[in-house]
Amino acid sequence: MKKYGKVAVLAVQKIHQDKNIYTIDAWTQAAIEIFTAQTTRHKKACPKSTFLGLCEAGLIKGISSENIKNNLRKDTNKQYALIAISILKSDPSFAERPLELWKEIWNEHIKENPISHNFQMDVVTALWNNDLINTATTSLVDDLVGVN
């Protein structure tokens, strides 16, 4: 598992241990533990907003709306994550191929030339592979992103 995936899983564990912690605070604490505060990698926005977007959408097991401090504004990383979950639901083998998952999002759903992968799929696939995605609510994802 890559480092931003580790951050996401650790952040979920922190929330499961302390139901009063906000998702943003759990992410920050986990990122500092994985990357240390001496680098700026713990502040990287794309993986963080991917994680926060999945939390906000109610797709991470054991995380409720009470753990959300502030809702994201319209966020493209959240949208990418929601599309990725929908794709994983229909073809879980993408969980072992994050870069191909990223290309699938762009080629089949965004239909533009892809931008560079910025660790969003590392977050999504780590949560998926650690059984932290609430698959009971993934039909909501299909409605949100218009995927069947």
Cα–Cα distance, 111 to 6 (Å, whole number)? 30
133 bridge partner residues: 60
Cα–Cα distance, 127 to 135 (Å, whole number)? 11
Say what the pLDDT of residue 147 is: 46
Q: Kindly list the domain boundaries of the chain, sorted by start residue.
A: 3-145
- 41-100 pLDDT, tens digit per residue, is 777 889 999 999 999 999 999 998 888 887 777 788 899 999 999 999 999 999 999 999
- pTM (2 decimals)? 0.87
18 within 8 A of 49, measured Cβ to Cβ: no
The share of the chain scoring above pLDDT 70, in percent, equals 89
- Report the chain's mean pLDDT, rounded to a whole number: 86
The number of angstroms, rounded, from the C-alpha of 52 to the middle of its chain's C-alpha atoms is 7
Cα–Cα distance, 93 to 101 (Å, whole number)? 9
Total residue length of the chain: 148
120 within 8 A of 142, measured Cβ to Cβ: no
Residue type, 76: T
Cα–Cα distance, 81 to 89 (Å, whole number)? 12
**Which residue in this structure is represented by tokens 């909501």?**
140
